[in-house]
Chains A and B, each alone.
Chain A
Amino acid sequence: MMRSSSIKPVCLSLAMLLASNAQAQQVLADAPSGDPALAGAVLEQRIPAVPNDIIFGLLAGGFDDRPAAPANDAEAARFLTQATFGPTMTEINELKSIGYAVWIDRQLSLDATLQRPELERQVAEDVAVNPRGAGVYAGFRQERWFATAAKSSDQLRQRMAFALSQVLVMSDVGALDNQPIAVSEYNDILLRNAFGSYRTLLADVTYSPMMGRYLTTFRNTKTDWTIPSGVANGPLLPGLVAPDENYAREIMQLFSIGLVERNRNFTPIPQAPPTYTQDIISQTAKAFTGLSFSCGPDAVFGAITLTHPCGGCVGTACNFSATAYFSAPRRYIVPIPGSPQSILTALYHPDTYRPMACYPRYADTGRSQEPLNNYAVLPAPFDKKVIIAGVTINASPVGCYTNTPAADRAACINYCTSQIDTVVNTLSLHPNVAPFLSRQLIQRFTTSNPSSDYIDRVAAIFENDGSNVRGNLGAVVKAILLDPEARSATPALEFGKLREPLLRLTAIWRAFEVSPTSTGTYGVVFPERIFAQRPLGAQSVFNFYEPDFQQAGEIANAGLFSPEFQILDESTAIAAADELYIRIFNGYSTAAAASTPFTMPVMGAGGFSSYLPPVAIDALPTNNAELLEALNVRMLAGQMSPAMKSKVLALMNGAMAATDHRRRALSMIHLIAISPEFAIQR
């Protein structure tokens, strides 16, 4: 249990960072209320943001020849491929006129297109007239996601939330498969924090019951210390149960600092021990206890009222109520007349997604659960929790139990939330976060193999956005997109990435103005079967693919990382090709050789609902070379190789010369869609 006495350089620098904070002008940002027992409570500094040219200056560091705006459609398309779900001609034109920085600023200022409020409304409306099981409504959630990706204005925020969902992974595979509304609220947490503070994001994720259920902090059981002999001052013994370590492990391994001590440019620090030990996990797990649903008032959805029966408690008394702690927010269930079965819908009381509350009786307070010794502080070392960077959480100043006196309740609740905040705050200050997070975000936006310098420039912005604010995610994404390595017109050979499967689909949708049917649906139901990817539907907390995956062969031999290749194989490659064909040609009949009539697709009976509307296809140039160039700009950011151009044109001017324009356009679109050149984004 004793920590090693050797001081690691990284710990020193964290300690120095903590010390320097104390000297600067500070604003407490929903921090604990100054409890001296909580050593290491950490704070953010806030000063208003500074203009773009300072950011540019910080990034430029010698590179000053980057254009402020794309010189042509192709460059604009390339940027939009990195920053949105796919370029559209409208967006290309806007970007050319206002330039990169202003485009980003506008995106940063747009309101988020949230998921949960609309989804909840739809579900409530639907279950009132046609209640179905929860699985149906999981499809509603996905529809909302795909519709937003296809059409929303806040594209950069949506891309950022999608990227964050692949780092701070939460999935409906498992405990939340019946709760699409709660899952969509998690998506909204990512959306709301996409350009905000990393620390706040990590805190919101930690307190969400969705993450609580997924990685088991929800009602995580602490070890109760009691005196089994019943003798006053008899030996105090720990119970058999120990807190689940799931979240304590993953918040460090995956959501913040990783396993390896790193420099700011992501290179590993030589001979450094791992970032944390099993012991730190166990101690941290103790802090993640005491959380359960918060207790809110009845929720009314039209004629449906859902309760969360917390036993009639009021105010802080609820935090000490076992009834409240164990109560379940109610679900809308419709009995089937004449049957013992019922319909279990996806409509739940909103406490299923509101931030969890802290129940001190169930939290590890470093004190016993034994009235016989008056809830005494536990013997060392069990009174303290030593978490990352040697930060120590001392025992609660007062005992916290079911019948805690009113005078002590606030202190207990404060202790309960403060220890969680301490873990979150400390982790968010760790020097590893900047490179660990920056590298992964770069991988989601621009390239699988950023140079150390690229990572370092972005990580530097994470550490200080130019206004002494740490963890400014909006500044980070701007830095990623404006970095010289991302904007270079002549990138290195290994620059770029295999497109994520879902982004291939949305790129084609957006390039050709995809339309849902009159019911507004896009009809992507089980994308994981085709693409091995589904929004907030990863098979495990390790996401669809790992950041360090290296495709066997030349890529691995060259020491390159290629995460998206982890889900590309015979099955998904061919299945994706087939799926894209259906979606591109949906509604268009290829029965005749010389005409390609369009009939509005009908949802159901095997039909997909979304389609590329004739108005978009017919508007493309009729001349084959011009047509191909238009597709080149929209799909390949103008990067189509001369060899590919000549081969495609040979077919279109040769065997397919007599076919109609639509047939040629759609055939070209699909050929490009499955070509090696479109598979990659550069």
Chain B
Amino acid sequence: MNNKQEINKHMSEKAIDLELVKQAQKGDIKAFELLVQRYQQKVGGVISKLIKDYHEIQDITQDVFIKVYKALPKFRGDSAFYTWIYRIAINTAKNHLVAKGRRIQNSDIEPSEVESYAGGYEKQNFDTPDAEYERQELEKAIQESIAGLPSDLKQAIILREVDGLSYEEIADKMDCPIGTVRSRIFRARDTVDNAVKPLLQKEQKRENYVR
């Protein structure tokens, strides 16, 4: 009962999206930037199922969010925001392939299927070996940093991110208060963040140089 009341007081992830969308619809570009930061990895991941070149993925991801911003007045919140973005992302990626004269092997791909779609393209990476190495380093650093976490932090973050459990469920599983779960998940994220920050800065500098 108490837990239920507590949940009702919280802003759900969908409500966060709607709040940011509302602000962005009023022309708040910074609010929209928070939405982009929230979904850019997912959108990049979806596009990478169809397109393999890293720089093309970056460019199309950018195009997708520009289109999303321009289409924001049409978004009424009937569907989840990420479902709506995914649809735009897939259409943009498909149009890009058509424009480039490449065949779309799976043209009836749906947003719900994208995440499990393995695609039929050979990896085409035109990056320099250094750039590719740095991105692999970044991913590796995240995995290593998770692996090096104290067991209670590691368990909490894996239960949350990999198994998708709620804080309440994690608290039950780890037999600790929800406050402790919150704190453990935060500390896990913060530790990983500190570990990858130098790599991220390096990567950002390189990306800015390329652009």
The finding on whether chains A and B are genuine partners in a shared complex, rather than unrelated, reads no
Which residue numbers of B lie inside 8 Å of A, CB to CB?
Answer: none
